[in-house]
Amino acid sequence: MASIINGGSGSSSSRRRASKLIFSAIPFSCLLLLLFFFFFFFSSSSTRKPFSTTTPHLHLHHHSHFETLNTAKAHCQGTLYPDLCVSSLSSIPNLASKTIPQIISSLINRTTSEVHDSSRNCSNFLRRYHLDLRQQFALTDCLELFDDTIDAFRTVLSDLRINASSHKDDIESFLSSAIANQFTCLDGFSHVLDGGLRPKIERKLRHISHLVSNSLAMVRRISKRKKRREALEGYGRVVRGFPEWIKSGDRKLLQSAGNTTNANIVVAKDGTGNFTTIGEAIAAAPHKSKTRFIIYIKAGAYFENVEVNKSKTNLMFIGDGIGKTVIKANRSFAQNFTTFRSATLAVSGAGFLAKGITVENSAGYENHQAVAMRSSSDLSAYYLCSFVGYQDTLYVHTLRQFYRECDVYGTVDFIFGDASVVFEFCNLYARKPGPQQKNMFTAQARNDPNENTGIVLHKCKIAAAEDLIPVQSSVLSYLGRPWKEYSRTVIIRSYIGSLIDPAGWSEWNGTFALSTLYYAECENRGPGSNTTNRVKWPGYRVINSTEASQFSVANFIEGGEWLGATTFPFMLGL
């Protein structure tokens, strides 16, 4: 009994220990209650509506993101820069619902902004930097080339919107020219000790060219449908090989030497025409002409640098014949001009035609790059003309061009550029070069395998000029060398003279482009045409007429759609 009495009336320390146990049990009980609530809530969450409405939106967002990413990856297959392509396409709203033309249009719009940024940068450099003359020319070239690129994009966007299938050739041509323009800008700095000026713009320009490359790769997925070009270029319906608007009497004018009665403007050195200089006549010609505007240039030597800018469309120069009507100047690299800016005659206006004239750059081999003629004119054609120079004589810069029965004289890389161009029944003459120099007939500049560009020589003559013949055995001459990585040159059923080295083709720099170029020969003749000892590069090949047919006038430059309106003769097939 005593123990019971003692416990009931225990000490204060015993009471403190009891209270500790009671209070320590309270948080433990709360913890158990919280755990019970936690498991009860989440075990039933699959059958209950969530408290927050944000959860399904997050789920849909992730689903949409992955769907967009997968769609972008699918569209970017086959592009050269897939990571850039995926990141570009992933930002397009509702990508899965877009057509290929709409996707390409979105890419072009983005690229246009990038070109505007580069243009502003170059303008700032011109204003803020103390530059030498060649640097100024190089930056001025870039500004012009950016402007041309933006115009090309406008044309592409319009074609994509109207009917991409019918305009596929146009789209490919203008996107190819946009790539070439970026590299032409950079080439202006290739010989410049610019104190770091080129690196300031190069990264941006290569980024632009990569964006265009991805767009160009996707254009290949558009099915092609033929169309007649007709009024689109302002030529009208073609009747018996002539535009409908050309009267029968005028057809004789276009097929023969010019005369004063039918031309719109006459240029004459002796003052018997409307003007005494070609530059004045061009200034007087209409802007954006929808019909052919003829400038007859009488016999004489015109010492001037002539430019047909892009606003002067559908112009035609008619002279009195090779060696009679001569346009002559001497700009060169040695005078601090860029290659682009050195041209005696530079043409950008679409639909340009020339007949019966000689264009010469008389700077000489010692002055290096010196262009006689530069053409960036789409759907341009030249008949019975002569182009005379040494290094870089004929700059077939961009877009679609045709040369028939023309003569070209030069030494180093004397037909060069990144146009889609066919030479038909032309005479190509290598001249005596400077000491230690080699003759290179071509230097094609395709930068991307999806470009539709290349130099095609069909039924041409490749031979030595009179000044080379006596020393021909001591001078190495080649059909061409690769200026850019995907250089493409094709020689079909042409005469190749004995001046050509048995190897046929020359390297540009070591093994550069030897695996990626496309150099082909088909059924040529002459002492230099034997292919037994030709180069063994992966990119070189001897082809048959079936493969060569893709480089015919009809297939390579769509000549059947527009050359009839030029009044010049041409062969559609081989």
Alpha-carbon gap, residue 372 to 414, rounded angstroms: 10
DSSP state of 348: -
Query: Minimal CA–CA distance to 363: which of 317, 322, 410?
Result: 410
Query: Minimal CA–CA distance to 305: which of 273, 337, 353, 334?
Result: 337
Query: Beta strands 407-410 and 386-388: pairing type?
Result: parallel
**Residue written as tokens 């610019």?**
194
How much helix, strand and coil, in percent to the nearest 5, is found in the chain?
40, 20, 40
Q: What are phi and psi of 275, to 5 degrees?
A: -140, 165
**Cα-to-chain-centroid distance, residue 269:** 38
Query: Which tokens hold the place of 146?
Result: 């950016």
193, amino acid identity: L
306 within 8 A of 285, measured Cβ to Cβ: no
**Cα-to-chain-centroid distance, residue 538:** 24
Long-range contacts of 287-291 (CB under 8 A, 24+ apart): 287/311, 287/312, 288/313, 289/234, 289/313, 289/314, 289/315, 290/234, 290/314, 291/234, 291/236, 291/245
Alpha-carbon gap, residue 490 to 122, rounded angstroms: 37
Query: Minimal CA–CA distance to 113: which of 178, 201, 208?
Result: 208
Q: Which residues are tagged catalytic? A: 392, 413
Burial class (CB in 10 A: 0-12, 13-18, 19+), 526: middle
Query: Beta strands 300-303 and 353-355: pairing type?
Result: unpaired
Which helix (H) or strand (E) segment holds residue 82: the answer is: helix 82-90
